[in-house]
Structure 1
Amino acid sequence: MKATATGLLVLVALVYVLAKYAQHAWGAGGWAGYVAAAAEAGMVGALADWFAVTALFRRPLGLPIPHTAIIPTKKDQLGISLGEFVGENFLSADVVKARLHSLGIGGRLGAWLAEPAHAERVTAELATALRGALTVLRDADVQAVVGEAVTRRAETAEIAPGIGKTLERVVADGGHHRAVDLVCAKAHDWLVTHGESVMDAVQGGAPGWTPRFVDRKIGDRVYKELLRFVTEMRDMPEHPARGAVDRFLTDFAADLQSDTETRARVERLKSELLARGEVQDVIASAWTAIRSMIISAAEDEQSELRLRVRSSLMSLGARLATDGRLQDKVEGWIEGAVVYVVANYRTEITSLITDTVAGWDAEHTTRKIEAHIGRDLQFIRINGTVVGALAGLLIYTVSHAFGA
């Protein structure tokens, strides 16, 4: 296009020379004056527009003429002006809010999410993001945070009243009876299996001056009484000892809720347990188990977690597509969030334009812009040549018409 525009300039210059030559050397008629005038004005128009177009990108003929090479010298100012223009006309709160409101995001989002394929896609993306987040997190850091949070929460919360209420309900419902049955059965089995050990223990505690057969007889008697007692307690739901256990548990549940000393002892026991390294290791290791479980569920397309998320998204989409109030609420959230970002971070957003333009090399920027719009600018030169020639011809004609 540069060659075309320059060629047209050379053409009108050649026409001008030939017309003048024909007028003076050959004595050509009046037509030569008209052609020369048109060609002369065409050269003026072509040169003027060449200067204007060239002055945008560089200094014409390398001369330091003021207000030339506008793009390379005013690059940073252009970037600032462009950033301000975008900020004022595209990132204003009213413009953004009106545009978002006209889009009807709530209904569109609902209809989109209601499609199974789209819900599955969102679920897959969420699963990928979740796996990525869990992979980036350092286990040691998370374990420390989890351990500290659980420990602090356990230390600040008094557990005795809660335990007391739970125990009270269990005893009232008879839920502890199975535990008592199990203890009695295990005690009976142990006594049957370790009868000799019980008798030896009784004999070992007897005075040294008593005869051996007396110790043996006492031990045998104690063992049989223990076995009888445990057997009766195991087989008789109404055994007095069971009633004593019930009363003990009932009183203990009440003490846990109202007795200051009992509650304080439970709190001290809780603190001692939390301070033990084994307990802290168990608390910290819970994160590893939870992390493994979550990653496994996120990777399995048929896991309960992904199925529930997918179903919830589809349900949300179906409701959002038909519920006008929910649509308004969601759109209000989105508009509020975007307007907040625009209002508070507009300068940071527009600085992306100004900083990017400022970071460009002036010569590289000039070539880039010229490559994109230069072809159209060359038409200005062409049009200037044609319009200049027509204007010159018109002026020459008018002048001769009035006898000038």
Structure 2
Amino acid sequence: MERMERTETADTEDRDAAEQHARAAPVTNRAMTTFSPADEEKQRGVRRMKLTATALLLFVALVYVLAKWASHQGAGAWAGYVAAAAEAGMVGALADWFAVTALFRHPLGLPIPHTAIIPTKKDQLGTALGDFVGENFLSEDVVRRRLRAVGIGSRLGAWLAVPEHADRVTAEVSAALRGALTVLRDSDVQAVVGEAITRRANTQEIAPGMGKMLERIVADGGHKRAVDVVVARAHDWLVLHSDTVMDAVHGGAPGWTPKFVDRKVGERVYKELLRFVTEMRDMPGHPARGALDRFLTDFATDLQSDTDTRARVERLKGDILARSEVQDLIASAWTAVRGMIVSAAEDERSELRLRLRASLLSLGARMSLDPKLQGKVDGWLESAAVYVVTTYRKEITSLITDTVASWDAEHTTKKIEANIGRDLQFIRINGTVVGSLAGLLIYTISRALGA
């Protein structure tokens, strides 16, 4: 019973260890572990070339045997030449077979050092490839030289100058703008905008700026039109609401005064008030207008230099910004702006899209003709590309090394062999031919020298 429990415990531990190993194992790249129909066809081509190279090896071996047999049978000197060429061809074929096979697997299954290079050195090859790409393709000089040779500024300008291309860019920008505004939540944008406006307003004192603006307005006489409007409206209101004014005077009179006296006083006050407002309206040089000018001038000065006045304005500003009505105004303003932009982006004949299209066409025409602007655009693109490759070079090269490391060694070997193995088999064939020629040359020279 105890033995069965120990066995079950061991099995459970083995399963747990296997699951942990499976979770920890890197995920292999499906592109390298799956053979496509094209890969299958390439692999069949590799097999045919292997048979051809092997058949050539067997042929020179047979020639060597027959030449040796003929030499022993006294066939003549030619048999020695043929045997020497065939012997060297076999050596060359076997040496190249070993070299080609050692790339992908152990020859004859023997664990000979420095063989099966691709499956055993896959990760080191990936690292070396990543370093090579980083040093030779992602360097600042290479990027700048390549982009400068392309001449993106002039090409982009010529492309944008075509109306169809400008229409396409306008449509794409409009779609991107609509998408961005659709994805953004109104509450988030309103919170950000409201917080930004409030923070900017709280950090910047507005009284001095208001004072300078008011000072310029008074100096230019810009406030006089506002005074004209206010006085005219006051006159019209008094004409229409005479009873209201007199009732207000009656209501403020003591209770012991006779009513006819209160009425006379109310009428007198109303007439004087109407006369005063009428004179202010009709007389640009009225003393009250001059007094108002002096008051606004003094107030502008106080806003810039008086500590108490500036402090009161700041407190008033804080009270206004804290009111919910102001935040609601910001929210409604963003909603209105967003709706306006989305509608303009959707309408092909909107002023926004028409101006954007015209700007793109104008920019394209200038870029295609102005060498200075082309140089600026090329410089901006070069600087941006150099920044990306120098800042994220390690991340880019790690994509290569990590991808290679995630490949399964066996499937990676098969796929690489399927893609380049056919050309490598030509090395075996060439080795057989070159070896035969070299052996024939060496044997000929040896015979000529009497060796």
Q: TM-score w.r.t. structure 2 length?
A: 0.74
Provide the residue aligned with 1:3 in structure 2.
51
Q: Identify which range, 342-351 or 264-273, moves more after superposition.
A: 342-351
Q: Is the 8 A contact 1:34 1:393 kept in 2?
A: yes
Provide the residue aligned with 2:206 in structure 1.
159
* Residue 286 in structure 1 maps to residue 319 in structure 2: no
Distance in 2, matches of 1:104 and 1:384, equals 47
* Residue 255 in structure 1 maps to residue 302 in structure 2: yes
Provide the residue aligned with 1:295 in structure 2.
342
* Residue 351 in structure 1 maps to residue 351 in structure 2: no
Amino acid at match of 1:4: T
Distance in 2, matches of 1:350 and 1:400, equals 58
Call closer, same or farther: CA 1:397–1:244 in 2, change over 3 Å: closer
Aligned ranges for residues 264-279 of structure 1 at < 5 Å?
264-279=311-326
Q: Alignment partner for residue 247 of structure 2, among 192, 200, 215?
A: 200
Aligned ranges for residues 56-95 of structure 1 at < 5 Å?
56-95=103-142
Q: Which runs of 5+ in 2 are unaligned?
A: 1-48
Amino acid at match of 1:68: T
Q: Which runs of 5+ in 1 are unaligned?
A: none
Call closer, same or farther: CA 1:227–1:344 in 2, change over 3 Å: closer
Distance in 2, matches of 1:63 and 1:55, equals 10
Deviation at 1:328, TM superposition (A): 4.0
The SS at the match of 1:55 is: helix
Q: Per-residue CA shift, 1:44-76, capped at 9, x if unaligned?
A: 443332222111111223222222111111111
Provide the residue aligned with 1:142 in structure 2.
189
Provide the residue aligned with 2:99 in structure 1.
52
The SS at the match of 1:208 is: coil
Q: Per-residue CA shift, 1:346-374, capped at 9, x if unaligned?
A: 33332222222222111121122111111
Provide the residue aligned with 2:415 in structure 1.
368
Distance in 2, matches of 1:175 and 1:275, equals 31
Distance in 2, matches of 1:163 and 1:394, equals 103
Percent identity, please. Answer: 80
Distance in 2, matches of 1:142 and 1:348, equals 33
Deviation at 1:127, TM superposition (A): 3.7
Provide the residue aligned with 1:209 in structure 2.
256
Q: Identify which range, 250-259 or 49-58, moves more after superposition.
A: 250-259
Indicate the RMSD between aligned Cα atoms, in angstroms.
3.6
Call closer, same or farther: CA 1:182–1:96 in 2, change over 3 Å: closer
Provide the residue aligned with 1:386 in structure 2.
433
Deviation at 1:342, TM superposition (A): 3.9
Deviation at 1:308, TM superposition (A): 3.6
Deviation at 1:271, TM superposition (A): 1.9
Distance in 1, matches of 2:59 and 2:427, equals 17
Number of aligned residue pairs: 402
Q: TM-score w.r.t. structure 1 length?
A: 0.82
Distance in 1, matches of 2:116 and 2:347, equals 62
Amino acid at match of 1:375: R
Amino acid at match of 2:423: D
Provide the residue aligned with 2:222 in structure 1.
175
Q: Is the 8 A contact 1:150 1:283 kept in 2?
A: no
Call closer, same or farther: CA 1:375–1:302 in 2, change over 3 Å: same
Deviation at 1:377, TM superposition (A): 0.9
Call closer, same or farther: CA 1:247–1:73 in 2, change over 3 Å: same
Amino acid at match of 1:47: L
Deviation at 1:375, TM superposition (A): 0.8
Q: Identify which range, 296-305 or 154-163, moves more after superposition.
A: 296-305
Call closer, same or farther: CA 1:339–1:221 in 2, change over 3 Å: closer
